[in-house]
Structure 1
């Protein structure tokens, strides 16, 4: 990962290497510190070191040495720091090896706000994760970073090995590997994979805009979970006699006749608790069916009578008569419409 087309990013990396752990610490101590830190991010999955890569970087890193001396001239390094030692340490960090599995755990730790999903350990603070993802989003893909941010819209980091580490915040992290590189040093197939991923799922940073083309969203709460939560909230409002909450549910197009696991409706609950105003709202405004029976064969009127709520009984008895008349009238009108249709066909 030592090929930095973005010189500014490289400058920051080399300069910050001097500050890792302590400026007076030797390279071995700082390297062990970074390895332990990365192992924590990877959930103790595989992490290795390639000495061949390290030696190659030292022998062919002329541009890196040139930039290092430029930084030294501009006094970018702390006082009493060794620029050559900082470069050696940088080359060491560029030679750390991961697998797709361990790299994906590192990405998942970033996606999880700094908490490793395997061990549950907090490795990074939320602020550090935000700053890291911001850097990855702006310059993690070399000179292709701008186009990647435009087309994919996710923080990522590529390496000249052909690896691409991708983070979907609050969802997942992944690493893919395919050695053939493009002219900017990124994996050709890795970029294609990221683009295809975003074309199918709404992971792009701006796919959540209103009226945007709908894509598959793994973050969407499934319909069953939404329905169960809706039932619980509706039943609790009826149990509490909270007419304001019932009104909000009705205005939100919630099905006011949905049932719980005992086949009881909100009208059953409100009638059993003796909440007259809630019963009046459910009957006169929501026009719910008063004849629904629960698992024991009881209607809301039966519950009101069982618990001696006389005011609720009066409301439900009157509503049942009105509801029966409306129901029979609608049946008659439906029959007439059916007959008219048959006559027109004939």
Structure 2
């Protein structure tokens, strides 16, 4: 029975593989090159290490570059279990259709930000103070598992405070919102991230500051041996990271413990005020918290983690349901308001993306429904955030429509990578033609100022000038004649704007266009 099901599945994927081959086939050829397949995978963002296509990659590596593949040879390479995913990517059905363009823009931002030299590495423990200050890496993973990375992307680092959203999510998933927030608040503190203070209910203000994270640690598998508790957390990190196991820096753990006077003070202060659950072992809880801060990862794994949050708790590269969607919603809400230490309010205002930073120089951002982005650059500003990380964030939202509220602002300079360019161009043409048909010069001016080509045409080849002429909108026609390079465009039926004005009986518009058409070429447009 099992063999029959496999055979049926392979047979059903045959047409899908055929479509992929046809999409990659050069004009006038009946074969493709092996490198064309590699290029197609890279262009749509499918990494060769992606477990979802490992069978296809394994088959592909058996063929030398330069080798030609006919239809049958291609069918032997693309594994049936990978066919649908590859077909989606090649067809542009992933969340970011033009991934090559997206990579290029991210690369441009990375290159500019790499020139920023300000900041100092954390020096409260030797392990952080000795890190190469010039390290810089960024990685992106989308909700469809499209991935790429730049810079020192294999360099591992301690997660430090970026562990806090994970710890909070583990506690929420296990206990529920009400149980967790009986012991920790959910408001920005308005004070220093490690200040000796509690809210009006004698609880730590939120899970993203030290006191709140210590409290969250106390809620994860309480009563179990410390080794078992830490092992369970490491398993969650592995699941969030696409199945790749994270590391642990014991030297950092020991140094954190030796220099933790403030964290010990916070813990005893909370115990004094009765904030911990009954029976909490304070010293074990602190060790557990320091262990979580000492987990190590790299930007590629952290981007996968961030993308899992962006995908509602489901890991994009493994389809593992790590957290409930309700849990992720709560975590992102607090990352947005409290995730960047004492810079959280300004970051929410100017960047507008849920994010969490750590004093190691780590920072991850979550663009819900789109992607996760992770950065590593050890030089910090006075508030403990990565200087390059913050600058990258600013430039990111100056380039892409990723700010939470970008959608309510009509800014044509911002790129929405989720939409194919052909769709954006078609929408722009529709807006412009509609404004021209109404004679709305103010709207036409606004659209032109947003870098929309005044000569852009719709599916039928009709331009704004065609529509204004058809409706007899003389002022709009006069204005468009001054800015259009081509004042004689022909639609799919071979009609010019002058033909439209005549057909509709708009004598005034007809006269304006006749005069413009009679003028010397250098006076037109």
Matched, 1:146 2:345: yes
TM-score normalised to the size of structure 1? 0.65
Q: Note the alpha carbon deviations across 1:152-209, whole angstroms, 9 max, x for none.
A: 1111111111111111111111111111111111111111111111111121122211
Q: Is the 8 A contact 1:6 1:139 kept in 2?
A: no
Counterpart Cα distance in 1 of 2:347 and 2:459:
49
Counterpart Cα distance in 2 of 1:225 and 1:103:
32
1:6, CA displacement in angstroms? 6.0
Matched, 1:18 2:18: no
Q: Is the 8 A contact 1:171 1:219 kept in 2?
A: no
Q: Is the 8 A contact 1:156 1:165 kept in 2?
A: yes
Counterpart Cα distance in 2 of 1:64 and 1:199:
37
Matched, 1:5 2:194: yes
Q: Which SS does the other structure have where 1:52 is aligned?
A: helix
Q: Is the 8 A contact 1:43 1:116 kept in 2?
A: yes
* Structure 2: tracts of 5 or more residues without a match: 1-159, 162-191, 197-203, 428-436, 439-456, 462-491, 494-499
Select which of 390, 395, 404 maps to 1:196: 395
Q: Is the 8 A contact 2:308 2:315 kept in 1?
A: yes
1:337, CA displacement in angstroms? 3.8
RMSD of Structure 2 on Structure 1 (CA): 3.5
Matched, 1:67 2:266: yes
* Structure 1: tracts of 5 or more residues without a match: 230-249, 260-290, 293-322
Alignment of 1:112-191 (within 5 A): 112-191=311-390
> Which structure has the larger Rg over C-alpha atoms?
1
Cα 1:61–1:228 change in 2 (3 A) is same
Partner residue, 1:235 = none
TM-score normalised to the size of structure 2? 0.44
Matched, 1:45 2:244: yes
Partner residue, 1:279 = none
Q: Is the 8 A contact 2:398 2:414 kept in 1?
A: no
Alignment of 1:188-337 (within 5 A): 188-211=387-410, 213-224=411-422, 326=503, 337=514
Q: Note the alpha carbon deviations across 1:96-155, whole angstroms, 9 max, x for none.
A: 111011011001111111111110111111111111111111111111111111111111
Q: Which SS does the other structure have where 2:364 is aligned?
A: strand
Cα 1:227–1:75 change in 2 (3 A) is same
Counterpart Cα distance in 1 of 2:373 and 2:289:
24
Counterpart Cα distance in 1 of 2:264 and 2:401:
42
Between stretches 39-48 and 152-161, larger displacement belongs to: 39-48
1:41, CA displacement in angstroms? 0.8
Q: Is the 8 A contact 2:315 2:322 kept in 1?
A: yes
Matched, 1:86 2:285: yes
Counterpart Cα distance in 1 of 2:400 and 2:386:
21
Q: Note the alpha carbon deviations across 1:206-247, whole angstroms, 9 max, x for none.
A: 221144x33333345225458999xxxxxxxxxxxxxxxxxx
Q: Which SS does the other structure have where 1:35 is aligned?
A: helix
Q: Which SS does the other structure have where 2:406 is aligned?
A: coil
1:4, CA displacement in angstroms? 4.1
Q: Is the 8 A contact 1:6 1:143 kept in 2?
A: no
| Number of positions where the alignment pairs a residue of Structure 1 with one of Structure 2 | 256
Q: Which SS does the other structure have where 1:165 is aligned?
A: strand
Counterpart Cα distance in 2 of 1:178 and 1:95:
17
Partner residue, 2:69 = none
Between stretches 190-199 and 213-222, larger displacement belongs to: 213-222
Cα 1:101–1:258 change in 2 (3 A) is same
Counterpart Cα distance in 1 of 2:195 and 2:397:
25
